A and B are shown apart, each in its own frame.
Chain A
Amino acid sequence: MNNVCNQTCTGCGKEFSKGLWRQNPIFVQVLGMCPTLAVTTKALFGFSMGMATAFVLICSSLAVSVIRKLVPQQVRIATFTVIIATFVTCADYFLQANFYTISKELGPYVPLIVVNCIILGRQEAFASKNGVFRSLLDAIGMSVGFTAVLILLGSIRELLGFGTIFNFKILGAGFEHWVIMALPAGAFITLGFLIGLFNWMNKKSKSN
């Protein structure tokens, strides 16, 4: 019955860890660029977006892997999208009800989680082909990898653009704010440097 999981649970740790580094959704797959570039002006917004995306990704991966054998091949994308949209609406209403200021700052990017390629990509590439437990691990791994990069990107931009991290003052009054870091150009430059650093570290570890 439940042989998909029992058979290969030796590789289950890998399903979780691959999203952190080896198949990191931002650094390696370069997916979900819209929220990555748009909402990372501050670390807190990156964290909130990461959490909202994680909720949607984990819930939809669970739902899709449960019903994967019932969904006809021809309408699978539409089915996945409806499932994702349901959870996005939940996340959106939750943020509006409990964290109104953050919801306002994130603006249209919360509803836009529906079209985040990471989520649909995981359903299509993983959850629709694997069991519930492995899909859950995969979704959690991808979510953690995604959120970690958003926080890193947000922290660097917030530090240079506002002199703070998570709204704590790090750099004193003498620090001149880099306006560019609060602008989209700063997101592109920082992400470029981070991906370059990531590839350089990979190359380094491979050659050793």
Chain B
Amino acid sequence: MEENFYISPGPHIFTKSKTPKMMKDVIIALIPAIFAAAYFFKLKAIILILVCTVSCVVFEALIQALLKRKVTILDLSAVVTGILLAMIMPPSLPIWTTVLGSLIAIGLTKQLFGGLGSNIFNPALLGRAFLMAAFPTYLTRWNAPFTLEAVTGATPLGMVKFGHNMNINFGGLFTGNVSGSLGETSALALLIGGAYLLIKKTIDWRVPLAYIGTVMVISFVTNLVAPGTYAGALFHVLAGGLLIGAIFMATDPVTSPVTKAGRWVFGIGCGLITMVIRLWGGLPEGVMYSILLMNAITPLLNRLTRPRRYGT
């Protein structure tokens, strides 16, 4: 029976694409970023990714068993949530907080709202948002690459915003040799993964394009107006969590609109909120909150952009 519910407007094209295959593609696309994280943050990164993934899968199985639902850990969606959650954590995070983050991501965001397909918010992002609100000191403590705990270093976005340091190391930003969350630092690795997903047609190109395009336009204009205060377009695209957010989070099929027009609006809205927070907000980075806020209005976007029946 459940096979007969369609969530997108017609025409409905039937393919063999199923959840596990899609999730497998996302995991494959994340491999370059995982390697980059392991290279720059060493053992810390590997432990974080392993703990997050295992705890997400365990919580998924446990909660589904408790709620007497079918245990669906084999669809790999919990694995993807776990890896993504680890990728957006600072490397120096205490391990037990990541377990709590996994519980919030899987238990509260996903299973209590009805499981995969019924969640309103992106589980990994809400897990991080909870930790950000609960333990702000841990979530804003960054260590520089190749160091363990000892050396703390501001993220490039923080340096530009609070340090007014316009001396940007673009090479580091591109390869990932800057401080930041595990998987967000290496633009190169994320772009390889994004290209793979686009070629495989696992993600729609509209959301990332609209998102990154909006960020580029706004940062280009503000940089023209006040070059001493605001960094340029290239910096805002490479720095922070924009690429991982635009490629892996904003394209989440559950929490982003299903219509083409809706996806454009979604991407542009994400870009706008991100730039407003980055340039004029209290935080250096706004990718997480921008995607979560746009997640919240996704049902509305689906409704407003529903295609009209031909002839009416």
Contact = CB atoms under 8 A, between A and B. Distances in A.
A176 B130 CA distance: 15
Interface in A142-193: 176, 178-181, 183, 185, 189
Contacts of A176: 94, 97, 135
Given A180-B133, A180-B134, 7 more contacts: A176-B94, A176-B135, A178-B134, A179-B133, A180-B130, A183-B133, A196-B112
A179 B112 contact: no
A185 B133 contact: yes
A196 B94 CA distance: 30
Contacts of A185: 133
The B interface, classified by DSSP as helix, strand, loop or mixed, is: helix
B48 to A, nearest CB: 17
A181 B134 contact: yes
A180 B127 CA distance: 13
A58 B97 CA distance: 45
Contact size class for A?
under 10
Contacts of B9: none
Contacts of A196: 112
- Tell me what chain A mostly uses at the interface: helix, strand, loop, or mixed: helix
B131 to A, nearest CB: 9
Interface string B117-144: 0000000000000100111100000000
B6 to A, nearest CB: 30
A181 B100 CA distance: 14
Interface string B129-163: 01001111000000000000000000000000000
17 contacts: A176-B94, A176-B97, A176-B135, A178-B134, A178-B135, A179-B133, A179-B134, A179-B135, A179-B136, A180-B130, A180-B133, A180-B134, A181-B134, A183-B133, A185-B133, A189-B108, A196-B112
A189 B130 CA distance: 10
A176 B97 CA distance: 10
Interface in B69-92: none
Contacts of B112: 196
Contacts of B130: 180
Nearest to B131: A180
Nearest to B136: A179
Interface in B91-127: 94, 97, 108, 112
Query: What 4 A-B pairs are tightest by C-beta distance, nearest first?
Result: A180-B133, A180-B134, A178-B134, A185-B133
Contacts of A179: 133-136
Contacts of A189: 108
Contacts of B134: 178-181
Nearest to A176: B135
B68 to A, nearest CB: 12
A199 to B, nearest CB: 12
B103 to A, nearest CB: 12
A179 B108 CA distance: 18
A185 B135 CA distance: 13
